[in-house]
Amino acid sequence: MVQFANETVAQTRAARLVILDRDGVINADSDQFIKSPDEWRAIPGSLEAIARLNHAGYRIAVCTNQSGIGRGLFDMATLNAIHDKMHRQLAQVGGRIDAIFFCPHTGDAQCECRKPKTSMLSEAGRRFGADLTQVPCIGDSLRDLEAAQSVGAQPMLVLTGKGEKTLRIGNFPAHTVIFPDLAFAASALLARD
């Protein structure tokens, strides 16, 4: 499923794209899920990092597993309200997310969209007209990194959210780049431009 902030995104020519996971990368994560707008809290510096990437010409797509819907913990109206809060707070710092792709299914559903499967990432590439080869794909969990590797994107691990645990467990793609948080990752991307 996808939510576009701006329908013209679908018609854009090939764009510089960054794909982000949501929980643990943009906002604080919770083992009990983010189930309401009140529970959604931006990680310090993450919104400003997205704004800096926007201003440098990057399109931002969020690809996020949201199995709380499939588990009955929250509904689509609540997910939309959470995303509205995220969009509003981003706008306050001059940033935007161009599209949000989400999987509402539980792991038992055996769907093709739940990371580490790749359908969300592939759809983001298709919608933005972007070849995913080496597109930065920033996440905090092994499934984010595996999905990135599977489509030829550049896996980037942030140590926020579940990132520290992912780092300790290891066994992630060998060419994964590691950053303390999204702000550091954005700075590295901007420095290479």
E strand or H helix at 91, and its extent? helix 76-92
Rounded-to-integer distance, Cα 47 and Cα 14, Å: 24
Catalytic residue among 23, 140, 144, 181: 23
Rounded-to-integer distance, Cα 136 and Cα 192, Å: 12
Rounded-to-integer distance, Cα 107 and Cα 48, Å: 32
Token pair, residue 113, equals 């969209």
Q: Using only C-alpha atoms, what is the Rg of the chain? A: 15
Catalytic residue among 21, 29, 98, 140: 21
Is residue 75 annotated as a catalytic residue, yes or no? no
Is residue 29 annotated as a catalytic residue, yes or no? no
Active-site residues, by number, are 21, 23
